[in-house]
Amino acid sequence: MAKIKLEREKCIGCGSCQALCPSHFELIDDGKSHIKGAEKKEIEELEVSKLGCAESAAEACPVQCIYIEK
């Protein structure tokens, strides 16, 4: 299992994660990214069996607030 983490405080709401990986990320009403299926909090975490496009989203994030743990 792998883990996707998002540090919401650093997020600038650019939308690159949602554009590259809509299966895991969405922009919500506060204008920041949210990991689908994760509890909304300062640092979100979601355990997944397959990362899929999440790695591309992490690499593309201009403020590097998305982390992947394998």
**pLDDT value for 7:** 98
Domain boundaries, the chain: 2-69
Instruction: With a cut of 70, list the residues of the chain below it in pLDDT.
Output: none
List the structure tokens of 34: 């949210």
Going from the C-alpha of 2 to that of each of 12, 19, 25, 37, 52, the distances in angstroms are 25, 21, 16, 14, 11
Domain 2-69 is found in CATH 3.30.70.20: yes
Q: What is the pTM of this model?
A: 0.94
Q: What is the pLDDT of residues 47-56, one digit of tens each?
A: 999 999 999 9
User: CA–CA separation, 29 vs 50, rounded Å?
Assistant: 27
User: CA–CA separation, 28 vs 63, rounded Å?
Assistant: 18
